[in-house]
Structure 1
């Protein structure tokens, strides 16, 4: 829950297309739902010069899944207590999906009171946030009751028109944010499924072989000590391989945080750990790279991980080289955007044959990740000639 202290002065109303444009741009820059909600509320309050602003997102149980306010201090918000229920004027907006402009909200027949610590609201302006026929939330502004004069509403027709316009853009921003979060959830689910497959296909099979070999060694200790020693040597080798496989899986499951370390440091760490975990020589080089939007950096990281995984697990590569360069395709090393290149000297493959056979080696996933951030993916490979995976993301 985000709040802000109204301070000693009520913000003045903003006017003109520039103010509306600024509010809409502020909303469009956010991707997290909570950040979008707070930006909507803060923009509405500033745009119309209100004392208070709030936006409630209803749940399916008569309450609110989220309720964001602006103009109330953190201490005030804590003193108010639990989130409100869908009653009173809020219920009217949500169920009738119609704007409400009132000179004194306390005089409305549906007014049901509020907690003792709640601000004493007077004039009120609220609009539903609609996406088609779906009511996404209720956005409202209010002023302290001391600003009301003889029950006359301080909010005008123009104010209502501005708030309705802002609510229309808010619906788009909120819908996009929800889609973004759902796509992230799906990506996480896909990663978990992939990790589960890796554990089953690689580590569990290695452990099963290790168990059988150990059992064979135990039966040979007395009657064939020489063969038993050979079997025990095989046990040690299988255990080492299983350790390497598990380490590689864990590295992919818990990469260094992009937010804290950035893409360059994360890729370098990945290369260093994989170089220690595998017999192949894994290197990383960076050329004039610069920070990118978080979605692009995450996509580049995941494509790099998939390409490294294919080179080390499927291609039998002796060397794997990963390069990250700044530049927008042909735009040069100092341009915007980035180019990621992962090249190996493994056995390679025929991309057309792989596609016809229905085997993907993560190629579909990599292309989808590149496309989702406006980038492109190019894969060059042939049997016996290694593989090159190149991903290009454009500059902003």
Structure 2
């Protein structure tokens, strides 16, 4: 196997692994676009997924700088050749894109395109989108072999889009099922108590001026029913706690979360914590949600090499830290951008304290301390 063959195999492998790694669908499609451009020696690459009317829900490019993209202007519409490719399942291979009968125009800042290769992203007979390349860097334009390899990458893009669709459908079904569960519990338990409470309160109001003793007895019943309804609501809310906390507790849930993120993100995500005693439900949930938010912020914004989650019990408290070696920031200037306000609100609601230690270029540590009792 030649060095060129090995490089091509690595590129195809990267695109395949992106699909199987459960990254966001946009990240997967961006990986496929970049791989296609490099593998097929193209100057430009793009991938479009249709949206409502004549828009694109996603339009990803590679080979165009951010400055060029800003100069080009708004996303393209589904007209001309781009629109035709979303209706015709056949690939398009041209020595000059301007020779196509459906070619229209491009904005003034758009790079000039010459040779062109585009293939549909197919799921059965359905066209989910299209991927296309322009301006082959080697002489001779795009070949039949190029077309075959781009078909392969388009097939992986189709897998990513179908997986995203199935996930969304599954999520919607889960939401509906959970909504129905809550509705049933509210009807079966709480609604009847609230109905009884209202009737009893009406009776007490009627008796206030005629029989104070009986009115007081009815008010005692109101208090009892209100307390029972509160407990029922609390039980339902507890049923909405993160499923990860339903088993072995915070330390196990965070270890699983770190392991999952380590598998699907390029930076290493490590759990370096120890087992801790169980916390009251509201504190345990707050700690878990804050850890999730801190991990999300680090992986999305910080550009780290390593993110570490530590958890320990110390002096009657549980201490959680999420630290990264990324680019850092000034917490005084970025509280909204990095979700610090919501994390601090959760910490306060759980009777804990949240500190964020960060400086530009020196990484970030989010530290939460909540009392055990």
Structure 2 length normalisation: TM-score?
0.60
Match of 1:290 in 2: 255
Equivalent-residue separation in structure 2 for 1:87 and 1:173 (angstroms): 25
Are residue 198 (structure 1) and residue 198 (structure 2) matched? no
Equivalent-residue separation in structure 2 for 1:128 and 1:140 (angstroms): 9
Q: Once the 2 structures are TM-superposed, how far is the Cα of residue 136 of structure 1 from its aligned partner?
A: 1.0
Instruction: Specify the SS of the correspondent of 1:91.
Output: helix
Are residue 163 (structure 1) and residue 155 (structure 2) matched? no
Alpha-carbon displacement from aligned partner over 1:204-232 (angstroms, at most 9, x marks no partner) = 22211111111222233344333322221
Are residue 83 (structure 1) and residue 65 (structure 2) matched? no
**5+ unaligned residues in a row in structure 2: which ranges?**
262-373
Q: How does 1:1-396 map onto structure 2 within 5 Å?
A: 15-30=7-22, 32-59=24-51, 61-143=53-135, 152-153=140-141, 155-253=142-240, 255=241, 263=244, 266-267=245-246, 290-292=255-257, 293=260
Q: What number of residue pairs does the alignment pair up?
A: 256
Equivalent-residue separation in structure 1 for 2:235 and 2:61 (angstroms): 45
Alignment RMSD, CA only? 3.1
Equivalent-residue separation in structure 2 for 1:123 and 1:290 (angstroms): 51
Equivalent-residue separation in structure 2 for 1:148 and 1:17 (angstroms): 20
Report if the CA contact (8 A) 2:15-2:156 is conserved. Answer: no
Equivalent-residue separation in structure 2 for 1:122 and 1:234 (angstroms): 83
Equivalent-residue separation in structure 2 for 1:75 and 1:189 (angstroms): 43
Equivalent-residue separation in structure 2 for 1:114 and 1:14 (angstroms): 37
Structure 1 length normalisation: TM-score?
0.57
Report if the CA contact (8 A) 2:92-2:119 is conserved. Answer: yes
Report if the CA contact (8 A) 2:29-2:160 is conserved. Answer: no
Report if the CA contact (8 A) 2:19-2:159 is conserved. Answer: no
Match of 1:393 in 2: none
Equivalent-residue separation in structure 2 for 1:117 and 1:13 (angstroms): 36
Per the alignment, do residues 203 and 76 of structure 1 end up closer, same or farther by CA in structure 2, a change over 3 Å counting? farther
Alpha-carbon displacement from aligned partner over 1:105-134 (angstroms, at most 9, x marks no partner) = 233332211112222222221111111111
Report if the CA contact (8 A) 1:27-1:39 is conserved. Answer: no
Equivalent-residue separation in structure 1 for 2:71 and 2:254 (angstroms): 49
Q: Once the 2 structures are TM-superposed, how far is the Cα of residue 138 of structure 1 from its aligned partner?
A: 0.8
Equivalent-residue separation in structure 2 for 1:287 and 1:162 (angstroms): 44
Match of 2:278 in 1: none
Per the alignment, do residues 230 and 190 of structure 1 end up closer, same or farther by CA in structure 2, a change over 3 Å counting? same
Q: Once the 2 structures are TM-superposed, how far is the Cα of residue 161 of structure 1 from its aligned partner?
A: 1.5
Equivalent-residue separation in structure 2 for 1:130 and 1:84 (angstroms): 21
